[in-house]
Amino acid sequence: MSIVPWSDRKVSELATRGWTVLHDFLPRDVIGQLREEAREGVARDKFREAGVGRGADHEVENAIRGDRILWIDPSDATPAQHVYWKAIEELQNDLNRELFLSLVSFESQFAVYGAGAFYKTHVDRFETADERMISCTLYLNDGWRAEDGGALRLHVEGGPIDVLPDAGTMVVFRSDSVPHEVLSSNRERYSLTGWFRRRSLRVVD
Ligand code: OGA
Ligand code: MN
């Protein structure tokens, strides 16, 4: 039995529009545990200012993004992170089967936005690397209200679409073609963002 709240309708939304939203992606207690782990990481000063770009182009750019991040190490996962990783593996298999993709790996990071932090409009695939195929962000915040700000805004046809970062909501979208931004948040905002990757198609000589 699948633990991922996935359906034919969600698959076809992703295929045709390039984005979809899943609710209750993981059980409440697991979401709460992940939020606690993120909080603890902040308290222990394990988070680092997020950057823009990759490799030698990587720069901390506060005018573009103000969040702080902590990469997850799947070989050193907590029980809650293990549940998340299992669900992600299942999602990867489903995406490969249903959408004829060739996703081979996944990378994931906690992110925290303090009050006033935002992330300006961008797409997730780097200009210098083509591995990122599908982005997904799982939100960890209990009782988020519209007045708390911090919505994820997708700039899509017929949009914009705002998604509130409420606990258990998971947004899934194409990494190459969906411009999006995080609106300024009025309270601490916790999430787990990840990217499904394919093998690079670039020819390197
Ligand atoms: C990102 C991003 C969206 C969000 O980290 O690239 O766009 O809602 N995050 O946190
Ligand atoms: Mn993004």
pLDDT in the model for residue 1: 45
Res 109 pLDDT > 80: yes
Res 128 pLDDT > 90: no
Ligand 1, atom 8, residue with closest C-alpha: 152
For the CA of 113, the nearest atom of ligand 1? 10
Average pLDDT on 155-171 reads 96
How far apart CA 118 and CA 151 sit, in angstroms, is: 9
Res 33 pLDDT > 90: yes
pLDDT in the model for residue 202: 79
For the CA of 124, the nearest atom of ligand 1? 6
Task: Please name the amino acid found at residue 17.
Answer: R
How many Å lie between the centroid of ligand 2 and the Cα of residue 1?
31
To the question of pTM greater than 0.85 for the whole model, the response is yes
* Mean pLDDT across the chain: 93
Structurally, at CATH architecture level, domain 8-52+62-197 sits in Sandwich (2.60)
How many Å lie between the centroid of ligand 2 and the Cα of residue 184?
14
pLDDT in the model for residue 205: 60
Neighbours of ion ligand 2 (CB under 5 A): 124
Pocket of ligand 1 (CB under 6 A): 111, 119, 124, 137, 152, 180, 182, 191, 193
pLDDT in the model for residue 58: 75
Res 11 pLDDT > 80: yes
How far apart CA 182 and CA 118 sit, in angstroms, is: 5
Domain boundaries, the chain: 8-52+62-197
Tell which residue, 35, 47, 77, has the closest CA to residue 192.
35
3-state secondary structure the chain: CCCCCCCHHHHHHHHHHCEEEECCCCCHHHHHHHHHHHHHHHHCCCCEECCECCHHHCECCCCCECCEEEECCHHHCCHHHHHHHHHHHHHHHHHHHHHCCCCCEEEEEEEEECCCCCEEEECCCCCCCCCEEEEEEEECECCCCHHHECCEEECCCCCCEEECCECCCEEEEECCCCCEEECCECCCEEEEEEEEECCCCCCCC
**Residues 23, 6: contact at Cβ < 8 Å?**
no
Provide CB contacts within 8 A for 116, sequence distance 6+: 66, 184, 185, 186
Res 9 pLDDT > 70: yes
How far apart CA 187 and CA 144 sit, in angstroms, is: 9
